[in-house]
Chains A and B, each alone.
Chain A
Amino acid sequence: MNSQNKTILIMEDEKPLIEVIKAKMEIEGLETVSARSVAQGLEYQKTGVKVSAIWLDHYLFGELDGLDFVKKIKEKDSVWRDLPVFVVSNTVSPEKIQEYKKLGIVKCYTKVDFRLDEIINDIKNFLKK
């Protein structure tokens, strides 16, 4: 699969979830890096990790949330400006979803309403394009 060299940045505050997502993605042939806060996530820009897509939860550790993260990576000089972002959250309000969409994310998911493999397949399918 072409996706095997793809690295997905998982932005999620819940450690068990990071674990299960990572496990499933790696089973599916994706590499992953994870971060539990916006700052941690942004740090990967400096490490040289080539991130192909971002799994983004809205609520993260720290004062900044997922929306703040998207705003930052969508800035003009951001290297991740064109990265596909998949928002996966249980609590994003419709208003926030609208904001996310305006910022150019790919899709919003409610965690409990989707199977994990459904979301990962969507990411993989997107990366295939």
Chain B
Amino acid sequence: MLNQHSFETCRNQLFKSVGWTCCFFVLLFFSLIFSVFATSSSQSVRVGVYDNQPKVYQDDKGVDLGVYPDILNYIAARENWKLNYIHGTWEEGLRRLKKGEIDLMVDVAVSDERLKEFDFTKETVMGSWGAVCADKKTKIESLQDLNGKKIAIVKSSVYLGGEDGIDIYIKALGLKVQFIYVDEYDQTYELLNKGEVDAAVVSHIFAIASQKNYPRIVRTNIFLKPTELRFALTKGKTDNLYLIERLDYWVKRLKDDEGSVYYKSLENHGLTAAITVQEVHPKWLLPAQLAAAIIIFLLLLFIIWLTQKRSILINKFRSLFESMTEMVVLHEMIYDENGKAIDYRVIDCNPAFSDMTGIPREKAIGAKASELYGTGDAPYLSIYDDVVKTGHPKRFETFFKNLNKYFDISVFSPSPGRFGTTMSDITDRKNTEKLIESRRKELEKLAQSEEEAKKAMLNVMEDFEEAKLCLEVGKTRDEAILASIGDGIIATDPDRRIIVMNKAAERLLGWKVNEAIGKLYDDVVLLEDEKGTYVPFKEKPLHKAFDSRVTTTIATLYLLSKNKIKFPVAITVSPVILKNKIIGAVEVFRDIAHEKEIENAKTEFASLASHQLRTPFATINWYIELLLGKDVGELNAKQTKYLKEMYHASCRMVTLVNAILSVSRVEMGKSEIMEKPTNVVRLIETITEEEKPEIKEKNLEVEKKIDKNIPQVMTDPEKLTIVIENLINNSIKYSPVKGKICVNLNLKGNTLMFSVADSGIGIPETAKPQIFTRFFRADNAKAQDPEGAGLGLYIVKAIVDLMGGKIWFESKENHGTTFFVSLPIKLTSKKL
């Protein structure tokens, strides 16, 4: 059982060593940080010591000696610590440590119970296990041999209770043992030496160290609870992390160096052997120890490697810490008496902190946040407190007004009561984000503008579409109009090529629209005159319209369709002029065959009507003439008078019928212009000659101003006669006796100018606008000649219009009237 126990003890020791090594790395970073600032300041360390030679004791002069003081003195010299040894018993030392009256206590074996009460360094200063010692004569070789024995033991000895404590074995084996409790190991040996107890439980180191003074007392083979002796610290003190790190660092370093003060002190105090189990362990354990030694050796090599790595890492971390552009600050939370966080203090910070805040590192370390940042309250206290309490890191962004900068703050808690912050200046990023946001908004606006522009564009497009639609509607409407028009319509371009042709034209010409489009007009439209002669190119109304630039109308030609069907056609051609340039022409034509028939019928009617009306009057007149001529016998006075009245009335009727027939002929278009070479001068002479009886009757003076050089002209002499005759007749009729009539005729270019002036009754102002109206007669004219029909001037104007001339007048009532006629004429080569 004992052998097994020893084996397990060694195994646990190995496992723990490996575990500690791993823990080492975990703590490495934080210890590094602490070590950095811890070395920079002098610190007073209160060390609890008791008398436990040779590990710790006082000489006669009160100087603290022993392995622990040697180690501590060495470390304190390096760390600039001021050690203050507080003396007392073991128990007193533990009490003080609990109360925090001392910072650390030396030579404290680690146990689960003590881990709950104290903080410990990680590095074992020495290994130790309990040894049951007894007088040489007392045969105690196993636990069973302790049955019924008195055993002296220090009250709070680690070897008494807990796992692997002697008490648990006694109870487990059902042994009856009486423990005699004392305060120190010396007392156990004194009682044993006096024979008041049968055995004593002490550390094996004490046993080794006491061999000289108590030669009869030897260590039995019973081992108890192998423990590690380390430095114990008051639980939860703020400086513990730093002290632990530094102590572990140095103890490790000293243990690694065989020539260090550690080994020298052990040697000086006769404890070289005490740190091994070689002497105290059973011999059979040697191979295992050798194996363990090899493993430990390998572990040492590993540790050395790790140490080197650690050193590199430390340097790396240190340089990283120093060179980080982010502010790294380690804080310690400050609580009030109720455990509420009220502030926090800077423990350490990197140069970036000073650079960014302008606060020197020396001033920052140890300063409270509420004072350091000048904010009155410690900023973000609740956040930091939450991180410290929960251990969960947090991250947030904030704006420091006094720095005018944004920071991204990460908070973590490396140990209880502490938290570290890394603060990254994200001002640029924030500004960039703002800029991006600004740009985004601008882009949104731009997008909105673009949207508006797009809308505007869409509106324009809509307008365009609308305009296009209107055009299409217009085009469709035009096409519909063109299609629905009964007249044929052809439009040509300036080269006389057909560009538009409607259905009516298609029907009349016998050409399909798609056949005709693009063809020359002259290839499609064939015209003939009444005699069947082809109308030459230049005589076609279309070409005339192009040449004259005016609308040309003609109704005397015949159109020959593609199918050789001939029909009379009325053609109107209008040139299309844009910016004074002919860009084409539009020809409208229609089949007037039916109209011709109607016209013939009308003509026939007019002839018949005139015949039917005139013939009775001719009969009446001629019979009256016969009677009045006394050819058939004498008439009395009354009969003669009455017959004359009848004859006069009949003549008026004849005049009226003639006038109506003339009007009818003019209005029906029957009065076509029949031009022929005419001697206008002679024509006037003839008319005035015919009017001589009336002129003579009124004793009128007739003045003729006739240009004798007027040649024969091409005009309609019948129509012209009607015009001149009417005007001269009027001038005679409305002139007073002995009045004057002036007839003028001259030629101005191709215009014949004719005028008749009289000194007659004149035309009243009110009658002037209606003077050419059918059946209109001015009041003064009615008074002068009640028998007038009011058709003379109407017919004159109609004929002048038909001849393409103009008629106008100047008149003043009671002063006379002058009528002017201008007629376009064609000159002939024949001179008068």
Q: Which residues of A contact B (CB under 8 A)?
A: 14, 16-17, 20-21, 23-24, 27, 59, 89-91, 93-94, 110-113, 115-117
Contact = CB atoms under 8 A, between A and B. Distances in A.
Contact of B610 (A21, A90, A117): A90
A94 B674 contact: yes
Given A91-B614, A112-B654, 4 more contacts: A20-B619, A91-B611, A94-B674, A94-B718
B297 interface: no
A116 B607 contact: no
A17 B618 CA distance: 8
11 contacts: A16-B623, A20-B626, A24-B622, A94-B674, A110-B614, A111-B618, A112-B654, A113-B658, A115-B621, A116-B625, A117-B625
A24 B631 CA distance: 8
By secondary structure, the A interface counts as helix
Contacts of B324: none
Q: When A and B form their complex, which 7 residue pairs have the shortest distance between CB atoms, in order from nearest?
A: A90-B614, A111-B618, A91-B611, A116-B622, A112-B654, A91-B607, A112-B614
B631 A93 contact: no
A59 B612 CA distance: 11
A112 to B, nearest CB: 4
A93 B603 contact: yes
Contact of A90 (B611, B623, B625): B611
Contact of B657 (A21, A112, A115): A112
A20 B617 CA distance: 13
A47 B410 CA distance: 155
B535 to A, nearest CB: 22
B405 to A, nearest CB: 117
B629 interface: yes
B654 to A, nearest CB: 4
B63 interface: no
A54 B608 CA distance: 23
B637 interface: no
Contacts of A115: 621-622, 625
Contacts of B657: 112
Interface residues of B, number: 23
Contact of B631 (A21, A23, A59, A110): A23
Nearest to A92: B607
A23 B623 CA distance: 10
Contacts of A17: 615, 618-619, 622
B618 A90 contact: yes
A111 B614 contact: yes
A14 B622 contact: no
A116 B626 contact: yes
Interface in B652-711: 654, 657-658, 674
Nearest to A15: B619
B618 to A, nearest CB: 4
A20 B626 CA distance: 8
Contacts of B629: 117
Contacts of B603: 93
Given A91-B608, A117-B629, A112 B617 contact: yes
Given A20-B626, A116-B626, A111 B658 contact: no
B632 interface: yes
B625 to A, nearest CB: 5
A36 to B, nearest CB: 13
B534 to A, nearest CB: 25
Nearest to A26: B631
A73 B590 CA distance: 43
B243 to A, nearest CB: 150
Given A23-B632, A59-B611, A113 B718 contact: no
A14 B626 contact: no
B13 to A, nearest CB: 156
B670 to A, nearest CB: 9
Contacts of A24: 622, 625-626, 631
Contacts of A116: 621-622, 625-626
A70 B446 CA distance: 101
B715 to A, nearest CB: 14
Contacts of B626: 20, 23-24, 116
A10 B600 CA distance: 29
Contacts of B622: 17, 20-21, 24, 111, 115-116
B658 A112 contact: yes
Nearest to A59: B611
Given A23-B632, A27-B631, A14 B619 contact: yes
A91 B665 CA distance: 12
Contacts of B718: 94
Contacts of A16: 619, 623
Contact of B623 (A20, A27, A91, A93): A20
Most buried by A among B617, B625, B674: B625
A48 to B, nearest CB: 30
A24 to B, nearest CB: 6
A16 to B, nearest CB: 5
Contacts of A59: 611
A14 B611 CA distance: 11
Nearest to A110: B614
Nearest to A90: B614
A110 B718 CA distance: 14
A115 B632 CA distance: 17
Contacts of A111: 614-615, 618, 622
A91 B621 contact: no
A27 B718 CA distance: 35
Contacts of A90: 610-611, 614-615, 618
A18 to B, nearest CB: 10
Contacts of B614: 90-91, 110-112
A91 B631 contact: no
A117 B619 CA distance: 13
A69 to B, nearest CB: 17
A17 B626 CA distance: 12
A24 B619 CA distance: 12
Contacts of B658: 112-113
A89 B631 CA distance: 24
A59 B658 CA distance: 18
A91 B622 CA distance: 17
B204 to A, nearest CB: 169
* Most chain A C-beta atoms within 10 Å of own C-beta, residue among B603, B608, B618: B618
Nearest to A20: B622
Nearest to A27: B631
Given A91-B608, A112-B658, A14 B615 contact: yes
Nearest to A93: B607
A48 B80 CA distance: 187
B152 to A, nearest CB: 178
Identify the interface centre among A16, A27, A89, A90: most chain B CB within 10 Å of its CB.
A90
A20 B622 CA distance: 7
A61 to B, nearest CB: 14
Contacts of A94: 674, 718
A113 B725 CA distance: 15
Nearest to A111: B618
Nearest to A116: B622
A21 B654 CA distance: 19
A116 B307 CA distance: 167
B20 to A, nearest CB: 148
Contacts of B610: 90-91
A79 to B, nearest CB: 30
Contacts of B623: 16, 20
Contacts of B611: 59, 89-91
A113 B610 CA distance: 13
Contact of B654 (A20, A23, A89, A113): A113
A111 B625 CA distance: 13
Contacts of A89: 611
A90 B374 CA distance: 137
A26 B608 CA distance: 30
User: In the complex, which of the residues A110, A112, A116, A117 has the most CB atoms of chain B within 10 Å of its own CB atom?
Assistant: A112
Interface string B574-606: 000000000000000000000000000001000
Interface string B141-184: 00000000000000000000000000000000000000000000
